[in-house]
Each structure stands twice: as C-alpha cells, then as structure tokens.
Structure 1
Amino acid sequence: MDLALLRTFVTVHRAGSFTRAAALLGLSQPAVTSQIRTLERQLGRPLFLRQARGVTPTTIGDELAHKAAPHLDALVEIAETGLDEESSLRSLHLAGPPEFTAERALPALAELTGEDGQGLALRASFGTAEEALDGLAAGHHDLAITTARPRGPLLTATTLCDEEHVLIAAPHWAERLGPDALCRKGALALEDLPVVEVHESLPFVSRYWASVFDARPATSGAVIVPDLRAVLACTATGAGLAVLPRYLCASALDRGEVVALHHPAVPPLRTYFLAVRTGTLALPHIARAHERLQQAAVDWS
C-alpha cells in the first residue's frame, strides 16, 4: 500500500474534510479526492461518507486510521529528526492558551531542554481550545493543553489540573463597596463597577456570575484586552473588577495590588486537559513531556 495514500487518508480523517486536508498537505482538492478514491479501490471498501459539510469516516475508515496513524506519526518524526544517531534532539510542538502555557507549562518543560536535559527542543504556539485541538488532530502539534475535552477516538485526553477563579479589583473599589455589600445584595452590588475582560462576551465574568450568583452580569466591558496578564495589569491600576485564575493573580493579591472581592464557599473552577493524538505516547519525547506536565500539575491545583 502506498504510504503517500495513507498519509493523505489520515490527514482527511483528522481534518474532517477534503478541503482542509488539501490545505494541510499543500495539494489541490481534486488531488486529495483522487488519492482517497484510489485507496478505496485498492481496499475495495468506502473509507468516508461524503456529506454537505466535510466527510465522516466509515467503520472501516476509523479502523484503518487507528491502526495506521501512530505508525505514520512515528515515520514523520524520524524524517523530521533525521537519521543522525549522534543527535538525540527531538522537537516537541506544544499548543495551549497563552497565559497558562507561558506561566506554567513551558517552565515545567524547560528542564527537559537544558544541558542536563533529555534532548528536547520546544516549539510553542498559543490559541483557543478549538484551534489547539484542530492543530493537534491535523498533526501540527504533539501536545495540546485545552479547557475542552476532545471527543472521538483520534485524540486522547488526560485531566491535567483545575484552576480556581477569583473575583478581584483594586483596593479602592473594595473600600467603595464596603465589607458586607456582596452578602447583602449579591451581584447587584457590583452593577456599577466597570469590568476588565478578555472578550466582549465577558467569558470569565459570565462564568463566575452563573456559578456564584446564579445570574448574568449586567454591565459591559470597560476594558477588553485578549490576554489575562494584561487584564491583571489594568485591574491593578483601578480600571475595574475582573475574574482571573488564582495562580495568575496570587502574587498581586499577596502584595495588596488587588484584593479578592468575594470568598464563595465553593469557588468556580475550570479544568485543563492534556491531549495527544491516540497512539503517539509511544514516542519517547512526547511521553517524557506528557509525564513531566502531569508531575508538575500535582502542585498546580
């Protein structure tokens, strides 16, 4: 069986469409379609069901992908690394949210890249959960840290850690509210406070309001900036209230630059998952990085 046909098949299986697979492979869509038809003729069985939007693998297609994909990934790894036995350097491509990846994941993996490390070259990219999982499925990444658990058999996910979310503001806002305002009024006490967020939809504030107050925020964002570290900086200067992961604002809380406005009995949590393509943990450099992140995560929760 032609390995080029298998590579195209696995790419289509991961991408979910001929169009996306063609873009990933640098081929035209007719070329991808032709290769899949050739492989189907060789096997005598259909591998995909064509739909209005993309394709869905048949049972045979799923079975072939599960058997072939890990071996193809290993061959690609060999090809990218080269055959120089004197070089133990392996590249690891990691994807995840910018703040968590920068503040937690990369420092944890850095020890594997040092002079006394295990020959790991790190390459990181930032993006949303959907972007990270799509890139992982398409073979652009080796590991993905995401707040969404992937579905389907192509990707395997392990729970990495939970992060606690904290409602914070500069001290003068807490003084303006008074010590028992939230106990008496709940979310109504916060209606006049401006909000600092990462998106116009107020994802962190909305999640906190729903979990703690069983309500929706009644205000719009005063400052919208797509980085939680910038949200913290703006909040510390008095721009408004914000909801942030505790690990990210713990030092600012200790220094008194911001204060926690609320201490719910059950704080809101968000779960992170560590995802890989099924079968790729057989590759030693991916397995080492996966294990190191899990070890580090013991102290993150």
Structure 2
Amino acid sequence: MDLALLRTFVTVHRAGSFTRAAALLGLSQPAVTSQIRTLERQLGRPLFLRQARGVTPTTIGDELAHKAAPHLDALVEIAEAGLNEESSLRTLHLAGPPEFTAERALPALTALSGRDSQRHALRASFGNAEEVLEGLAAGHHDLAITTARPRGSLLTATPLCDEEHVLVAGERWADRIGPGGSRRRPPLPLDNLPVVEVHESLPFVSRYWTAVFDARPAASGTVIVPDLRAVLACVISGAGLAVLPRYLCAAALERGAVVALLDPAVPPLRTYFLAARTGTLAMPHIARAHEWLLRAAADWA
C-alpha cells in the first residue's frame, strides 16, 4: 500500500473534508479525491461518506485511521528530525487558551527544559477549544490544552486540572453593593454593575450566574477584551465586575486590588483536558511533556 495514499487518507480523516485536506497537503482538491478513490479501490471498501459539508468516515475508515495514524506520525517525526547529530533535538508543539497556557503550561514546560538531559525545543500557539483540537487533529500540534473533551478515537484526552471561577470587582463597586447584597436571588444589585468580559456573549459571567444564581445575567458587557489578563487589568482599574479564574486573580485578591463579591458553597469549576493524537504518546519528547504537565497540574489548586 502506498504510504502517500495513507498520508492523504489520514489528513482527510483529520480535516473532515477533501478541500481542507488539500490545503494542508499542498495538493489540489481533485488530486486528493483521486488518491482517496484509488485507496478505496485497493481496499475494496468505501472509506468516507460524502456529505454536503465535508466527509464522514465509514467504520472501515475509522478503523484504518486508528491503526495507521500513529505510525504515519512517527515516520513524519523521523523524517523531520533527520538522521544526523542533530536528531536528538525534538520540537514540541503545544496549543491552548492564551491565559492558561502562558500562566501555567509554558512555565511548567520551560522548567522541564532546564532539567531535561535531552535537548528539545518548544513552540506554542493560542486558540479556543475548537481551534486547538482542530489543529491537533490536523497534525499541527503535538499536545493541546482544552476545556472541551475531544470526541472520536483519533484523539485521547486526560483531565488536567479544575479551574475555580471567582466573581470579582474593584473595591468601590463592592462598597456599592453592600454587605450580603450579592447573595440576593435574583442578584439585582449585581445587575446594575458594568461587566467586563472576553466576548459579547458573556461566557464567564453567564456560566457563573447559571451555576450560582440559577439565572441568566441581566446586564450586558460594558468592556469586551479577548484576554482574561486584560479583563483583570480593567477590573483593577475600576471598570466593573468580572468572573475570573482564581489562579489568575489570586495575587490581586491578596493585595486588595480586587474583591471577591461572593463565596459560594460550591464554586463554579471548569475542567481542562490535555489532549494528544492517539499513539503519539509513544514518542519520548511528547510523553515527557505530557507527564510533566500532569505532574505540575497536581499543584495547580
């Protein structure tokens, strides 16, 4: 069986469409279609079901991808490393949400680099859960940190840690609410405060309101910035309230730059997962980074 055909097949399986696979491979869409048809003729079985938007693998297609993908990834790793004195250098490609990756994952991995006797390089990229899982499946990343557990057999995921969310504001806004004001149901005093968020849909505030108050927030976003670190900076400057991960605002809480408006008995949590393509944890540099992140996460309370 031609390895080039298998590589095209695995790329289509990960990308979910011939068009996207063609872009990843640097081929034309008709060339990709032709290679898949050739492989299907050789196997005597259909590998994909063609749909209006992309393709869906058949049972045989899923089985073949599950068996072939790890070996193809290993071959690509060997080819990229080369067989010379530099072959001990491995590059780990990590993707995840910008704040969590920058504040927690990257410091942990750079600490590993300082202790690791085998040389390796690190490349990081940021994105939301959908983007990083799509990039992982397409082979752009080795590991992905995500708040969504991936589906299917080509990706495996291990729970990494839980993130506690805290409702915070500057001291002057906390004084306006008054003692116990934030515990009212519905939370009327809070509805009068400006909201700082990462998106117009208020994902963090809405999740918190649903979990703690069993209601939707009545307020709309006053300041929208697509980075939780910027959200914290705006809250410290007095822009309004926000819901932030405790690890991100712990120092600001300790020095009094922000105030926790509520201390619920069961604080809202969000779980992070560490994902990889099935079979790639057999590669030493990926396995070391995976293990090190899991060990580091044990202290991320």
- Give the distance between the partners of 1:47 and 1:185, measured in 2 at CA: 54
- Give the distance between the partners of 1:207 and 1:223, measured in 2 at CA: 18
Select between 192-201 and 115-124 the one with higher mean Cα deviation. 115-124
- Give the distance between the partners of 1:88 and 1:162, measured in 2 at CA: 35
Residue 123 of structure 1 corresponds to which residue in structure 2? 123
| Structure 1 spans left out of the alignment, 5+ residues | none
How many residue pairs were aligned?
301
- Give the distance between the partners of 1:234 and 1:176, measured in 2 at CA: 18
- Give the distance between the partners of 2:113 and 2:175, measured in 1 at CA: 47
Residue 64 of structure 1, CA deviation: 1.1
Distance 1:113 1:51, change over 3 A: same
Q: Quick check: 1:50 aligned with 2:40?
A: no
Distance 1:31 1:50, change over 3 A: same
Residue 231 of structure 1, CA deviation: 0.2
One-letter amino acid of the structure 2 residue matched with residue 48 of structure 1: F
- Give the distance between the partners of 1:184 and 1:141, measured in 2 at CA: 46
Pairing of 1:210-225 with structure 2 (within 5 A): 210-225=210-225
TM-score by length of 2: 0.97
Asked if structure 2 preserves the Cα contact closer than 8 Å seen for 1:48 and 1:56, the reply is yes
Residue 245 of structure 2 corresponds to which residue in structure 1? 245
Residue 30 of structure 2 corresponds to which residue in structure 1? 30
Residue 111 of structure 1, CA deviation: 2.2
Residue 267 of structure 1 corresponds to which residue in structure 2? 267
Residues 212-238 of structure 1, C-alpha deviation per residue, up to 9 Å, x if partnerless?
Answer: 001111111111000000000000010
Residue 282 of structure 1, CA deviation: 0.6
Residue 166 of structure 1, CA deviation: 0.1
Pairing of 1:140-219 with structure 2 (within 5 A): 140-219=140-219
- Give the distance between the partners of 2:122 and 2:42, measured in 1 at CA: 40
Distance 1:185 1:178, change over 3 A: farther
Asked if structure 2 preserves the Cα contact closer than 8 Å seen for 1:97 and 1:127, the reply is yes
- Give the distance between the partners of 1:296 and 1:64, measured in 2 at CA: 35
Asked if structure 1 preserves the Cα contact closer than 8 Å seen for 2:91 and 2:120, the reply is yes
| Structure 2 spans left out of the alignment, 5+ residues | none
Q: Percent identity?
A: 83
Select between 42-51 and 252-261 the one with higher mean Cα deviation. 42-51
Asked if structure 1 preserves the Cα contact closer than 8 Å seen for 2:164 and 2:270, the reply is yes
Select between 47-56 and 238-247 the one with higher mean Cα deviation. 47-56
Distance 1:185 1:43, change over 3 A: closer
- Give the distance between the partners of 2:228 and 2:264, measured in 1 at CA: 22
- Aligned to 1:6, the other structure's residue is in SS state helix
Asked if structure 2 preserves the Cα contact closer than 8 Å seen for 1:112 and 1:120, the reply is no
One-letter amino acid of the structure 2 residue matched with residue 134 of structure 1: E
Asked if structure 1 preserves the Cα contact closer than 8 Å seen for 2:109 and 2:289, the reply is yes
Residue 50 of structure 1, CA deviation: 1.2
- Aligned to 1:161, the other structure's residue is in SS state strand
Residue 113 of structure 1, CA deviation: 2.4
Residues 62-95 of structure 1, C-alpha deviation per residue, up to 9 Å, x if partnerless?
Answer: 1111111001000111111111145411000000
- Aligned to 2:188, the other structure's residue is in SS state helix
Select between 2-11 and 60-69 the one with higher mean Cα deviation. 60-69
Asked if structure 1 preserves the Cα contact closer than 8 Å seen for 2:185 and 2:213, the reply is no
TM-score by length of 1: 0.97
